[in-house]
Amino acid sequence: MPLGYPPDYNSQLPRQQSHGPRPSFLPLTGDGNSTLRHRLDWHVDQGAEPTSAAVTQFPTVLYDTASIGMLIRAPNRHRLRLLNSQPVISLSSRRRLVVRATESEVNEAAKTTPPNKTPASTNGSNFNQLLGIKGAAQESDKWKIRLQLTKPVTWPPLVWGVLCGAAASGNFHWNLDDVAKSIVCMVMSGPFLTGYTQTLNDWYDREIDSINEPYRPIPSGAISEDEVMTQIWFLLLGGIGLAGLLDVWAGHKFPIIFYLALGGSLVSYIYSAPPLKLKQNGWIGSFALGASYIALPWWAGQSLFGTLTPDIVVLTLLYSIAGLGIAIVNDFKSIEGDRALGLQSIPVAFGAEAAKWICVSAIDITQISVAGYLLGAGKPLYALGLLGLIIPQVVFQFQYFLKDPVKYDVKYQASAQPFLILGLLVTALATSH
């Protein structure tokens, strides 16, 4: 009996002819957050019997709300309030039933409703999908999904690092052989080894992405586990194979590029995978990522055409602190998932506001320090050139990143990073002379 009279009432009521109930359903609204109230009025002829069947004609959804309170007005002014069971209806010439869902219950229901995680990228850009960035369209083509996993938008810094290393060697010449070797080295560093790193990272981040970005290929189920594993091994072995080829091509007695590729791949693995999972520690993980994007490709390019010297190793590791700042930029969009899984990224450990300033300080102070190094090395023009490239980066930091690092992360990186990588080239040219 979902809604009706108690047996003792029904047994005592006189049976008379009734014209039947005439319901009026009148929702009463308040300030938008106030109690949801529905008033149902029954107009019953004098002496008529409002039967249980008549009452149940009204929408039972009103009764399905948890903890419904029923206020009953009887002719003797007595009131009863029953919760969750045995609703009681009193009699009068004009009988009124008020069903209320309390404000706390409505708010509680709202809290338990899962948030909508479907992003605008459901109908997003095909171009963004191919680059592997936010706002990507959903794809079913496996080759496009495979490309998305490698995040081509992350390749240019590695490609540029190879170019800087070649320039720093002082032995690169614009002939077919050197250009071909540099292109193969760029393909090794970008599509293969960076693609391997990004695919591997997405695989081990699938639980975090199911919270932060559930529409990405792996958590959404757009690509299977076997397909992901095949891609990881293909890119890893392909990258290491190209590194060995470059050592043979360059005539190296010691296969330095092969070992650089092997070491970089190992760093990528322990960055993403347990038990070490360097990314769990914001400082170590971000620096490892920065060194992989700046120092390793530079070392590969310089080793391909010349000799890797200790001073270049130190300088590029110093520059990798700027890479640490760039890595922090990407951590802001993952705060929710990182916190849920216990990853101590810089934004989680220090809070978003402090992390913004740590990020820009790492980028700016590093470049200023390198400019000071170049000035001390007797190369003032290169030092001034590097300082000139820092200024627009600071402008874009205030214009975009410091305002909202989540909303403007892509726009900030697209605006500021070209000046950062130009600064790398200025530094490389300075060290080559």
Tokens of 105: 């219950």
Evaluate if pTM is beyond 0.85.
no
Give the count of alpha carbons within 13 A of 248, CB side only.
6
Distance CA 298, CA 383 (A): 20
3-state secondary structure 273-313: CCCCCHHHEHHHHHHHHHHHHHHHHHHHHHHHHCCCCHHHH
* CB neighbour class for 139 (10 Å; exposed up to 12, middle 13-18, buried from 19): middle
Give residue 124's pLDDT: 61
Tokens of 332: 């802001």
pLDDT digits (tens, 9 = 90+) for 243-278: 999 999 999 999 999 999 999 999 999 999 999 999
pLDDT digits (tens, 9 = 90+) for 104-133: 443 444 443 334 444 434 556 665 656 656
Q: Which domains does the chain have, with CATH numbers?
A: 7-112 (no CATH), 139-432 (1.10.600)
**Cα–chain-centroid distance for residue 127?**
18
Q: Using the predicted structure, report yes or no on whether residue 12 has a pLDDT greater than 80.
A: no
Give the count of alpha carbons within 13 A of 113, CB side only.
8
Give the count of alpha carbons within 13 A of 368, CB side only.
9
Q: Using the predicted structure, report yes or no on whether residue 53 has a pLDDT greater than 80.
A: no
pLDDT digits (tens, 9 = 90+) for 169-193: 999 999 999 999 999 999 999 999 9
* CB neighbour class for 220 (10 Å; exposed up to 12, middle 13-18, buried from 19): middle
